[in-house]
Structure formats: C-alpha cells, structure tokens
Copies of this chain bind each other. A is one copy, B any other.
Amino acid sequence: MTKIPVGVLGATGMVGQNYIALLNDHPWFEVRYAAASPRSAGKKYRDAVAGRWQLAKAYAPHVGEITVEDANDVGRAAAAFKRGDCSFVFSALEMGRDAVKALEEAYAAAGIPVISNASAHRWTPDVPVLIAEVNPHHADIIPMQRKARGWDRGFIAVKPNCSIQGYMAPLYALAKAGYQAERLIVSTLQAVSGAGYPGVASMDIIDNVVPYIGGEEEKSEKEPLKIFGAVENGLIQNAALPKISAHCNRVPVTDGHTACISLEFGARKPGSIEEIKKIWTGFKALPQELDLPTAPVQAIIYREENDRPQPRKDRDADKAMAVVIGRLRPCNVFDIRFTALSHNTVRGAAGGGILNAELLRHKGYLQ
C-alpha cells in the first residue's frame, strides 16, 4: 500500500516533535512535509531541531533531510500537495490564537485538510472537536463546514485540550450506559511537557507545584460540553451538562496528566462501584471496532492497586494511547470519585491527532 503523504505544521515544537516521532513507522501516513516558524525555514529538519529535540525516540532519517518550510507560506504547502508530498497536515502551530485561526483556514481553503492540536478553532461552531472514542459522529459536520466555507477538499478538525483527556472516555462510557454525569469537580496534576518547549522554567517547578495554568481551567470546563454536543443544522450545539469546576496544577512530572475527579450523577445512578468498573473495562468504541492502527486495544484500563495510576508507570500504557483509571470509590460529597491518567503529548496531543486522522480517513475525508 502506498502511504498517504502528510505534513506537520509547527514541526519543531514539542507537539510537532511528537507527531514526527509517532509517525515514524505509521502504516498509513508518511511525513513528507514539515513547516515551522520563519526562523527554522530553509533548514533541514535535523538542523532545525538540533539541541531542541526533546524525545528519547529519534525521528526517521528521511525526516531529518526534509527542508523545513515557513508555516506562514501556504503556497509552499499547496505546491507540495500538487507534487504529491502533502495530502493533509497535522497542525501543531504555536502562534497566537488569531494567527493560528487564520492560517489553518488558509490551508483548508487551499485544499489541504487540517487536523489540529491548536486551541484556536475549538470554539468555531462548525469545527468538530474530536475524541475518536467519544464523538466520531461529529465528523459528519465536515461536509457542512466545507459547503459553508466554500472549501472543496480542505476542512478543519481539532482535538480538545490535553487536560480533559483522562476522563472524557470514562464519562462517555457511563453516559452511554445511561448514567449521565451532572456535576464534576476535578483537580489536575499536569506534566510540564504540556507547556511546550522551553515552557515551564526549571526554577518554577523543581521542589514545587504551580497551582495555575493560564486558560486551562476555562478550557477544561467548556470543551467537554461541545464534545458531548449534538450536530444540528450544520453547527455543533453544546450539551448543557456536566457542569465542571477545574483546578489545574503544574507538577514536576515530564509526561502524563493526572486528574482527581469527584462526580455527581443525575437521577439515574449506577448500582455499584463494580458496575462502573465493568462499564469502563468493557467499553469499546469505533476506533477499537475498526482496529485503527493507533487505537489502544482497550480505551480504558482500570487498575485495582490502590496507588495507581501513576504518571511514570502508567503513561505509556498501550502505546501511551490508553486512559488509565484507578481508585474508584464512593465520594463523601458527590456520588463517586476516581483518579484518571493519560499521556498528554501522545494521547492528549499528537497521538490523539493521528487517531483522529485515522478515523477521518476511514470515513473517507482523507486520502
């Protein structure tokens, strides 16, 4: 099978590096185009990331030889598309919100689908915020998006913030089983890789916790409502529930966001802790049914040990794509509480984006 040639925008940043590394041996996609800031443009990828490559895993040799383009220059990508080097792009752009918004639209207008990690378009009503296990049907908005925008081939689909990745699938599995979460109080202990590179200064985090991450709490509270929303008249109508209150903290951990969740159900409540565990461990969604290459075998892993999940030990579960849950127990105030973990730069970023692309290819939106 010939692989689909893909591009990565923001290829030299933390998330971009994860895209590059995760696509090393991808069975469907092959990186043939890389774009970044003007500072990197014109350099070979290996020179552009020299001294900045953050991952233990190396990039593929052929990617090291790619000449990095200026991500602002959509024409270069369009030319790459024409010569068969860039069928769609993963966007890990790290510019300001408005710049990202405009640029991603320009790529889409130029006929290049954009699978994005940036937050810029998460609140654009006709742009789906996809978690492949939770709302794959939101992809149905793409034809409407194309039509409304006058785009023929291009479109924009985004991912949610990494902070919520650990509990969205568990909430969805419960809702699907008839148990709607109505209120949620969550505290996160987030890894420094979530802030990109150089990101968090070491003086701020060694022997320390920072109880604040700009914009993160708002995103954590709002994005689930769109993801749980319904496609109506070419727009996504947000769900009304659950109400969420998030406390987001930065901790001295390289990778893996931990979340402590207290949750109140609506009128219909699970009969027991065991019933919930069964719902979670039995949860199979479209990526699992389709056996997509990047999909975890089990979307939700439940660990019975009383001190798990832990970032260092659980973040890499099933290619770092699984959500790992533990400590499910009755809550003294709400109904239940538990701890959830997911790998923020894989499941919560590049890996999640690749899984979305696999889903969209299956649905015929990418080729």
Contacts and interface: CB of A to CB of B under 8 A. Distances in A.
Given A207-B311, A260-B247, A333-B185, A50 B252 contact: no
A244 B287 CA distance: 39
Give how many copies assemble into the complex.
Answer: 4
B333 A254 contact: no
Contact of A333 (B56, B183, B212): B183
A294 interface: no
Given A205-B206, A307-B210, A314-B56, A189 B251 contact: yes
A206 B253 contact: yes
Given A221-B332, A247-B339, A306-B212, A313 B207 contact: no
A96 interface: no
Contacts of A192: 202-203, 206
A249 B257 CA distance: 13
Interface string A261-294: 0100000000000000000000000000000000
Contacts of A210: 307, 310
A211 B56 contact: no
A187 interface: yes
Interface stretch (A75-83, A147-155, A193-201): A193-201
Given A50-B305, A212-B327, A247-B339, A14 B207 contact: no
A237 interface: no
Contacts of A331: 185, 245
Contacts of A54: 203, 313
A334 interface: yes
Contacts of A221: 332
A243 B262 CA distance: 13
Interface string A315-352: 11000000000110001111001010000000000000
A142 interface: no
A251 B254 contact: no
A258 interface: yes
Interface residues of A, number: 64
A1 interface: no
A262 B247 CA distance: 9
Given A221-B332, A313-B56, A262 B189 contact: no
A245 B201 contact: no
A203 B199 CA distance: 8
A162 to B, nearest CB: 15
B207 A253 contact: yes
Nearest to A333: B245
Contacts of A246: 332
B208 A311 contact: yes
A308 interface: yes
Q: Which of A14, A55, A205, A326 is packed against the most chain B CB atoms within 10 Å?
A: A205
Q: Which of A183, A203, A309, A316 is packed against the most chain B CB atoms within 10 Å?
A: A203
A246 to B, nearest CB: 8
Given A212-B327, A312-B56, A332 B245 contact: yes
29 contacts: A50-B305, A53-B313, A56-B313, A56-B315, A183-B333, A185-B185, A185-B333, A187-B187, A189-B251, A199-B201, A199-B203, A200-B203, A202-B202, A202-B206, A203-B254, A206-B206, A206-B207, A207-B254, A208-B311, A208-B312, A209-B251, A210-B307, A210-B310, A211-B309, A243-B333, A245-B262, A245-B333, A247-B260, A252-B253
